[in-house]
Structure 1
Amino acid sequence: MSVRQWARDLAMGVRFAFTGGREGWTRAVLTAVGVGLGVALLLLTTAIPNALDVRHEREAARTDITFSSEQIPEANDTLVVARLDANFRDDDIRGRALDPDGPRAPLPPGVDEFPAVGEMVVSPALKELLESDSGALLRERLSDRIVGTIGESGLIGSAELAFYQGAEGLAQHIDPGRIERIDRFGDPAPGEDQSDPVLLLLVLVVFVVLLTPVAVFIAAAVRFGGERRDRRLAALRLVGSDGRMTRRIAAGEAMAGAVLGLVFGTGFFLVGRQLAGTAEVYRISVFPSYLNPSPLLALLVAVAVPAAAVLVTLFALRGVVIEPLGVVRAGRPARRRLWWRLLLPLAGLAMLYPMIGNGRENGDFNQYLVTGGVVLLLVGVTALLPWIVETVVARLGSGGVAWQLAVRRLQMSSGTAARMVNGIAVAVAGAIALQMLFVGVDDDYTRSTGQDVSLAQMEAALPSEVPLARATDEFRDTEGVKAVYGYSEGYVGDRPRIPDHGTMMTVGDCASLREIARLPSCDDGDVFAVHGAEWDAGEDMAKLAAPGRKLYLDPTYDGSPKGREVPWTVPQGVKAAEPRRGLLAGIDRGGFLITPKAMAAALAPGLTGHAYLKLDESVADVHDRVRNTAAALHPLTDTMTWSATERTGRFDAIRTGLFVGSACVLALIGASLLVSQLEQLRERKKLLSALVAFGTRRRTLSLSVLWQTAIPIALGLVLAAVVGLTLGTVLLKMTGTPVRVDWTSVLSMTGIGAAVVLVVTLCSLPPLLRLMRPEGLRTE
């Protein structure tokens, strides 16, 4: 068979699709919508790496706080920057105070000129929030006048909350990590990405699990209207075409729908790209310009989709005999064979087996074997489900009229029913496996902070100008604050420069100090030395606390800014105290404990105030009320919300990416299922009308449609759970993680899949009721 003949037959099928009247156009449009939804998601996926790269580049380009101990001298081209990051309810706010040293100071990306003191430049999203009623509490904290907005080049997403605030006098507060002098924006020494094999495996599996259902849906979409199309093809045999030519014409018709689907998909993607600029999913937002698909991957999609349409159609017609007088498919079809369907998941397991036990110690996982193994296991669901549906429905017994109608329909076309739920089954199987993997390795990327959230829920670090007593009084008067523990902290060494020995010095009232150590007795004016604390491992507190010994508060270290080096003589009558694991989190706190009356005034500049707050969480916006109080005390007051644990940033980012992708795939699943359901109802219009004309109740027909959906989806979800648990177990063994099944996640993933199908079925009821009319029998 020549290439020219193939091209001619495919071209004829394309013409039939667009010139075959209403029937041909309807099928082409249905196919195009189904394919277009999948293509849009594929294009979005190919654009995600570019979007992440742009976000990373924008983040790097505006880097200012570098945690560098190297001091840049003041010049007319330098700028002092203070980190004012904050939170408002559940949202993060990126904030910076800017104090230029001269006229040539570098401007942040996206900012045209420096705001003056009392002014600020904000992101569009923050401006909208501040101007809304819900931002009333935040306006108390950010009360400066807005004089401009930050441009796109200075933001990592359209929904990012960020501001730059004018300031003065920041130079005297320089503290690496919080307040620094810079001569340019941008990461001066970008670090190399430290590869974690398990994280790379997670990324790889996430992409495979999210994209496989999309491919399944596209393959199903090109078969929309298959039964009517096959009957039309019988007319071609009547005018002289042979069986092979007829199949090629059918493939051309499917290819036409797929090509139109590429056009629809591009349109859907462009619309979605614009909408992405106004949406935020799991705190991730992008600008439309970020979502530019890779040209090579976009070309691959453009070639692969029509090719897949041709191959799927030829494969689907392999068992259909198209004769001049009709299509031979009404007779009892040959039973589906099981052996080759089992080969797919078994081959997938065989590809993954060599990597079992690799963990983190034996290098990266082979990405080709991982991709191939996961794909074969998930595609195995699509191969096994038709056999399972056929086998089960063949054994279903009698029941009510609705049940009998549904069962008989499934027995006649079990393959069509299985195709409808293949995508949802694949998605649920992949989601179960990923949830098992995430839950299994979660402990490896979650660590305890050591913060005792039963004693305090927030912490405030005070600038040296703010007296601790005043701050604790203000916090106590804040609505929702139940208790305040205030400390002034610093470090003392045995020499003013580069000390060999040293320990902590903590100043606070007796109630606060009892949260740090076990005190024999305490009165204002006492000084304590904590012996045996984990904090002072290796230090001889008996020598450091010897009466009359001179120590230095805030000594200078090599390579760090010059400290204040305040001398302090250990007084007589220092009491011994025992350490306790208490409020200051995670480790036994040692050193000197001093009550306020015993602290010399000269020590105050070398100490940093900290307030630890116990909150009444039932008070609305209590955290933001505390932040407002802190900002009123001093703009540089840094507040932190405590948590018992924290996760690795990259692990959280991958998990967030999974949630974003899952939301998109679920939307695709719902839309595609609805299109598929409507196409099935359209093909059965005359049958439904005939049943109604003979007196069948609409309630009975509606219930039969529900059963036709419920039976395959129930079987599909059971198969998905089995495959998902198997794949999850293998992935956990590959990472060297003990296997445990999170049944809550399994049931929730299965329930989400069932809920999507239920919603789609309910949405298809109005069109079904319109189709169930005797007038549908009329033929024009």
Structure 2
Amino acid sequence: MNQWGRDLALGFRFAFAGGREGWTRAVLTAVGVGLGVALLLLTTAIPNALAARDDRGNARTDFTYLSEVPPKAENTVLVGNADTVFHEADVRGRTLEPEGPRAPLPPGVDRFPAVGEMVVSPALERLLASDDGKLLRERLPDRIVGTIGNSGLVGSADLAFYRGAEGMERYADGANVTRIERFGDPNPPREKTDPVLVLLILVVLVVLLMPVAVFIGAAVRFGGERRDRRLAALRLVGSDGRMTRRIAAGEALAGALLGLVLGAVFFLIGRQIAGSVEVFRFSVFPDDLNPSPALALLVAVLVPAAAVLVTLLALRGVVIEPLGVVRTAKPARRRLWWRLLLPLGGLAMLYPMVGQGNDDGDFNQYLVVGGVMLLLVGVTALLPWVVEAVVARLGGGGIAWQLAVRRLQLSSGTAARLVNGVAVAVAGAIALQMLFAGVDNDYTKSTGFDLSKAQMQLTVGGEVDIEEAAERLRATEGVRRIAAHSDGWLGDKRLDPEKGAAVTVGDCAALRELARVTSCQDGDVFAVPRADSDTDTAQLAVPGRILYVDPSYEGSAPGREVAWKVPADLRTVDPRRDLSGMERGGFLITPKALPEGAAAAMTGRAYVGLDPSVSDARERVRNTAAALGPFVRAEDWWATEQSNRFASIRTGLFVGAVCVLLLIGASLLVSQLEQLRERKKLLSALVAFGTRRRTLSLSVLWQTAIPITLGLLLASAVGLTLGAVLLRMTDTAVRVDWGSLLSMTGAAAGVVLAVTLLSLPPLLRLMRPDGLRTE
């Protein structure tokens, strides 16, 4: 152990005291390792960030929909839901009316805003002050008197506001306005664990972290050829082969330790940047990104250890002699059999879970992680063999092609290392996209909305006349069509009715959208007994029977019910699906037939058809809704709706993929610059002999294009295989998402092309005859 320590320390000294050659290699290694370490630290910090977001979200919860609402007291506050949407971004809004001096304040707010005042999040304040927020400012005209602190926001880009109000008690129905004694949900709901979603999370983590590990492994081998030639000098002064390898490991260890420091610096810089950006509607505060101490310590131990192990393994096939390095001799052909064992082992680990699906317990996490890792590691093992086998058979061509091919034939392993991380990332991404596409239908369902006629819906309470609301909407710019009606509930008794049915009020045009009504005039009443989920209408539709609009139930305040007599000229009609995709049963009543006082118990609904040629039509409709009343809700219609947890996992994948792509680009650029530095004298010699710079530039492009093409083909094959196995594990039919496959490979190829173009300026600087000068 003492000898190991001395040799590693000597290599450590060589890295920084061995002249420009030594510290240049150490810095390049450190930058490559640092980028990977920064992303690893970011990954270990994400669970804490998500937990912090959830804690702050739970701490500001107000609508818990409890069965018992506390009575008015000195420590209660009325809270109204004033949520809105602006350009597809959710804006969380609440109206507050304290009912006593001890009313609780929401987190992040130091005082209640008065009527006409509001406190907003910093992100919302910036939006309202910008030109882009002009329409939203019309919707929120209150004077801004303060900002919400971080404790009241889930993320740095959170759009939220609290506004003052009065007279809210008349709206306190529990749906739009509620009374609370404290903010926060003491018992946040726990969703049942879905095995398929757990599988998605595990695979996402492995797929995002594997390229990082591959890049770190490649970074510690930067400058390997020059380093090995320098190590030959150590043999001249008496070191044996084992000592020389340990000294080389010490050099790699120095770069890795410096990489840890740079990684921490990169992480701190990235953490500050993360607090000012939003990716896929996801944002965090810098303080949330605190890595778990145990995981950070694990990274600090594993990265230097990996640097030593990778170096020792890389030098196993290199003979370092006093007079030079036997690497330029023809290397032995790589063997295929052991490389195939890795992906086959991964398939063997995943096979027992094939067909398990969503109803047969949880997936074994260790087998999932181990199997996916072996398959992805198999890409890094197979790619050098594939590159060597293909380039050995490439023949003649132009000068640039011949230079590139000959270089690849001499150092196919180096070329493969450059694209290993890209291939692993693409293979994992293809598999994940197949899995997401395969199970998407399980977590996405059709809304049934008729988007050809309406794209938005407004819901208004009885305090707002639905006809007036419809007229205001018709006058709104961008509105092409309006269909409006009101609905409520009928019971056979004033208190706790045993039978009940829906009641819908509207003009004849509106009722024809709900049922197969032929002749109709104001004053008519229709019964719809054969609609879906309707059981009592046929028994209640008896002429002369007394029914009650808005009957009272146990626990509610009596006296709101309005008596109504079923008319003798009642007609029965068949239902039809309305614009929302529902069959509306019960009673259809024209306005003249509605008893006096019943309108206040109705909920108005307006279906809005928009003119697609008018920009910001949705925002204008929301502004009209806000002007109608404080709790008039405007909702967008979509063809489908998706599970929140499934959507969150997919968002997490996109966020992680962006970070990994940035790492891929940065690491590839560093690798390319290191490779060009290694070939400085060779390039200068070729230029001195008259080789054109365009020819050399094309040769460098071919040296990148050939391995990346082979890597993407191998990654596509492994990704399709892994995706098919994962789909079979979830008991889903296997189908290839060709669009995702092409987009993933195209994105990877685009990153490589961008890196190649960025490396051209330094390449042109290196292609000078004076590069042959040496000391």
Q: Distance in 1 between matches of 2:313 and 2:414?
A: 14
Q: Distance in 2 between matches of 1:348 and 1:646?
A: 35
Task: Show CA shifts across 1:341-378 (max 9, x none).
Answer: 00000000011011111111111111001000000000
Answer yes or no: is the 8 Å Cα contact 1:630–1:637 preserved in 2: yes
Answer yes or no: is the 8 Å Cα contact 1:69–1:176 preserved in 2: no
Partner residue, 1:75: 73
Q: Distance in 1 between matches of 2:452 and 2:495?
A: 39
Answer yes or no: is the 8 Å Cα contact 2:562–2:595 preserved in 1: no
Partner residue, 1:655: 650
Give the letter for the 2:757 counterpart.
Answer: L
> What SS does the aligned partner of 1:376 have?
helix
Does residue 714 (structure 1) correspond to residue 709 (structure 2)? The answer is yes
Partner residue, 2:416: 418
> What SS does the aligned partner of 1:451 have?
coil
Answer yes or no: is the 8 Å Cα contact 2:461–2:602 preserved in 1: no
Partner residue, 2:8: 10
Answer yes or no: is the 8 Å Cα contact 1:106–1:183 preserved in 2: yes
Give the letter for the 2:713 counterpart.
Answer: V
TM superposition outliers: structure 1 runs of 4+ over 6 Å: none
Partner residue, 1:328: 326
Q: CA RMSD of the aligned region, Å?
A: 1.0
Partner residue, 1:689: 684
Give the letter for the 2:627 counterpart.
Answer: A
Partner residue, 1:621: 616
Task: Show CA shifts across 1:8-66 (max 9, x none).
Answer: 11111100001011000100000000000000000000000000000000000000011
1:560 deviation in Å?
5.3
Q: Distance in 2 between matches of 1:464 and 1:439?
A: 44
Partner residue, 1:772: 767
Task: Show CA shifts across 1:311-334 (max 9, x none).
Answer: 000000000000001100111000
Give the letter for the 1:652 counterpart.
Answer: A
Partner residue, 2:740: 745
Give the letter for the 2:163 counterpart.
Answer: Q
Partner residue, 2:567: 571
> What SS does the aligned partner of 2:362 have?
coil
Partner residue, 2:547: 551
Q: Among residues 637, 640, 654, which one is paired with 1:642 in the alignment? A: 637
Answer yes or no: is the 8 Å Cα contact 1:554–1:563 preserved in 2: no
Q: Among residues 280, 302, 305, which one is paired with 1:304 in the alignment? A: 302
Q: TM-score, normalised by structure 2?
A: 0.99
Does residue 409 (structure 1) correspond to residue 404 (structure 2)? The answer is no
1:563 deviation in Å?
7.3
Q: Distance in 1 between matches of 2:203 and 2:174?
A: 39
Partner residue, 2:429: 431
Answer yes or no: is the 8 Å Cα contact 2:693–2:767 preserved in 1: yes
> What SS does the aligned partner of 2:188 have?
coil
Q: Distance in 1 between matches of 2:429 and 2:217?
A: 20
Q: Distance in 2 between matches of 1:574 and 1:68?
A: 40
Task: Show CA shifts across 1:278-320 (max 9, x none).
Answer: 0000000000000000000000000000000000000000000
Does residue 666 (structure 1) correspond to residue 661 (structure 2)? The answer is yes
How many residue pairs were aligned?
Answer: 775
Partner residue, 1:248: 246
Partner residue, 1:168: 166
1:192 deviation in Å?
2.5
1:176 deviation in Å?
2.1
Does residue 189 (structure 1) correspond to residue 187 (structure 2)? The answer is yes
Q: How does 1:163-312 map to 2 (within 5 A)?
A: 163-312=161-310
Task: Show CA shifts across 1:676-695 (max 9, x none).
Answer: 00000001001101111111
Does residue 120 (structure 1) correspond to residue 115 (structure 2)? The answer is no
1:416 deviation in Å?
0.2
Q: TM-score, normalised by structure 1?
A: 0.98
Q: 1:682 to 1:560 in 2, by over 3 A?
A: farther
> What SS does the aligned partner of 1:251 have?
helix
Q: 1:226 to 1:561 in 2, by over 3 A?
A: farther
> What SS does the aligned partner of 1:517 have?
coil
Answer yes or no: is the 8 Å Cα contact 2:176–2:631 preserved in 1: no
Q: Distance in 1 between matches of 2:287 and 2:491?
A: 54
Q: Among residues 21, 24, 38, which one is paired with 1:23 in the alignment? A: 21
Does residue 143 (structure 1) correspond to residue 141 (structure 2)? The answer is yes
> What SS does the aligned partner of 2:215 have?
helix
Q: Among residues 711, 732, 735, which one is paired with 2:730 in the alignment? A: 735
Q: How does 1:21-60 map to 2 (within 5 A)?
A: 21-60=19-58
1:509 deviation in Å?
1.0
Does residue 90 (structure 1) correspond to residue 88 (structure 2)? The answer is yes
1:490 deviation in Å?
0.4
1:771 deviation in Å?
0.5
> What SS does the aligned partner of 1:63 have?
coil
Give the letter for the 1:196 counterpart.
Answer: D
> What SS does the aligned partner of 1:396 have?
coil
1:439 deviation in Å?
0.2
Q: Among residues 452, 459, 462, which one is paired with 1:461 in the alignment? A: 459
Farther-moved stretch of structure 1 (516-525 vs 270-279): 516-525
Partner residue, 2:516: 518
Q: Distance in 2 between matches of 1:415 and 1:559?
A: 77
Q: Distance in 1 between matches of 2:554 and 2:677?
A: 80
Structure 1 residues not aligned, in runs of 5+: none
Q: How does 1:338-357 map to 2 (within 5 A)?
A: 338-357=336-355
Q: How does 1:375-390 map to 2 (within 5 A)?
A: 375-390=373-388
1:749 deviation in Å?
0.7
Task: Show CA shifts across 1:603-651 (max 9, x none).
Answer: 1111111111111122101100000000011121111111121000000
Q: Distance in 2 between matches of 1:351 and 1:501?
A: 58
Q: Distance in 2 between matches of 1:632 and 1:232?
A: 78
1:559 deviation in Å?
4.7
Q: Distance in 2 between matches of 1:253 and 1:555?
A: 83
Partner residue, 2:61: 63
Q: Identity over the aligned pairs, expressed in percent?
A: 71
Q: Among residues 584, 589, 594, which one is paired with 2:589 in the alignment? A: 594
Q: Distance in 1 between matches of 2:605 and 2:186?
A: 32
Q: Distance in 2 between matches of 1:102 and 1:603?
A: 34
Q: Distance in 2 between matches of 1:661 and 1:558?
A: 52
Answer yes or no: is the 8 Å Cα contact 2:117–2:163 preserved in 1: yes
1:562 deviation in Å?
5.2
Give the letter for the 1:573 counterpart.
Answer: D
Task: Show CA shifts across 1:685-724 (max 9, x none).
Answer: 0110111111100000000000000000000000000000
Farther-moved stretch of structure 1 (612-621 vs 232-241): 612-621
Give the letter for the 2:91 counterpart.
Answer: I
